[in-house]
Amino acid sequence: MAKRYAEIGKDCVACGSCIRVCPVHAVTVWRGVTAVVDKVRCVGCGKCAAECPAGAITLQNREELA
Amino acid sequence: MKKRHWYDYLWIVTPLYLGLGCFNILFAWLGLLFFCLPLLIAIFGGSKAYCNRYCDRGQFFGVLGKTCKLSRKKPVPRWLKHPIFRYGFLIFFLLMFANMLYVTWLVYAGARELGQTVTLFWTLQVPWGWAYPTAVTPWVAQFAFGFYSLMLTSALIGLLVMVLFQPRAWCVFCPMGTMTQLICRVRARKQLRAVRETGRMPEV
Ligand code: SF4
Ligand code: SF4
Ligand code: SF4
């Protein structure tokens, strides 16, 4: 499993730009409120974070997942 | 490469719409679609499918900023994405929309002459008479001029922040985006409460 995964912060405006670029379809927008990432699927490539206009996505290390 | 869908080409609608308005202002009426569709999808569908898939404008800024490399790709400043600014801008936009309707009503009531201008940034009057070739009922034309003014102004602001910041920086404070997200929040309030109580993000 990839070392990192994408986490969506509270600045998310649910625009869906991240959905377009994710190579593994790990992002969805939950009920038009916020984007959510399927951590299992996410390969931590960071494409979504580079795309997000709100700067709402940060990459987290999996080790920190307790 | 990711698979392309038909709706990935909708960005063409933005230059088409703005272009048509330069020839005949009455095309501005079509803009009501961009106003009603997202709201209907949010109210009845409870989703931001409009933003996520179909919105021509967000895509257009993406094409210009990313594909054409016109964006500096710098982070959007904090204050621009602060809820106070986002909701403030939404309220300001709705007030300007109401004002536009009021002016249309004045023209309808005969209390005001039809102004053949496009108002940029809510202040700058630009003569636009050439795009009004055949006279129609004055209020119909007035609405078109007013609506087109809003569309062109917001497009120009979007272009500016596209160049300065991220390609789709406009989406951060876009009134339609803010409004549809707000509607979706209200619709999902029960689930949101559960999310808050358990402290976990909703499952995907
Ligand atoms: S980091 Fe890559 S794989 Fe993970 S959600 Fe973002 S785009 Fe998808
Ligand atoms: S690109 Fe950013 S703001 Fe837009 S839905 Fe994804 S996380 Fe949210
Ligand atoms: S936030 Fe506005 S411009 Fe961006 S995708 Fe949604 S409706 Fe379109």
Tokens 């990839």 belong to residue: A2
Is B51 in contact with A38 (Cβ distance < 8 A)?
A: no
Residue A66 within any structural domain of the chain: no
B203 pLDDT band, cuts 50/70/90, is low
Structural domain boundaries enclosing A50: 4-61
Residue A12 within any structural domain of the chain: yes
- Residues B48 and A32: their CA atoms lie apart, in Å, by 5
Domain boundaries, chain B: 6-198
- Contacts of residue B114, defined as CB under 8 A and 6 or more positions apart, other chains included, come to B107, B138, B139, B141, B142, B145
Quote the pLDDT of residue B196. 83
Which has the closest alpha carbon to B127: B136, B135, B118?
A: B118
Quote the pLDDT of residue B68. 93
pLDDT in tens, B72-108: 999 999 999 999 999 999 999 999 999 999 999 999 9
H/E segment holding residue B105: helix B83-108
Is A54 in contact with B76 (Cβ distance < 8 A)?
A: yes
Residue A56 within any structural domain of the chain: yes
pLDDT in tens, B148-159: 999 999 999 999
Asked if B83 contacts B32 with a C-beta cutoff of 8 angstroms, the reply is no
Report the pLDDT averaged over residues B22-51.
95
What CATH number did the domain enclosing A32 receive? 3.30.70.20
DSSP letter (8 states) at residue B144: H
B4 pLDDT band, cuts 50/70/90, is confident
DSSP-assigned beta bridge partners for residue B102: none
- Specify the ligand 2 atom closest to the Cα of A16: 5
Residue A60 has pLDDT above 70, yes or no: yes
Residues lining ligand 3, Cβ inside 6 A:
A 15; B 38, 51, 55, 57-58, 170-171, 174, 176-177
Residue A40 within any structural domain of the chain: yes
Of B47, B187, B202, the CB nearest to A36: B202
Q: Tell me the CB-side half-sphere exposure of residue B56, using CA atoms within 13 A.
A: 17
User: Which tokens in the block code for residue B57?
Assistant: 């404008």
Split into its structural domains, chain A has a count of 1
Residue A65 has pLDDT above 90, yes or no: no
Of A29, A31, A53, the CB nearest to B168: A53
Asked whether the whole model's pTM tops 0.90, one would answer yes
User: Which tokens in the block code for residue B149?
Assistant: 């003014």
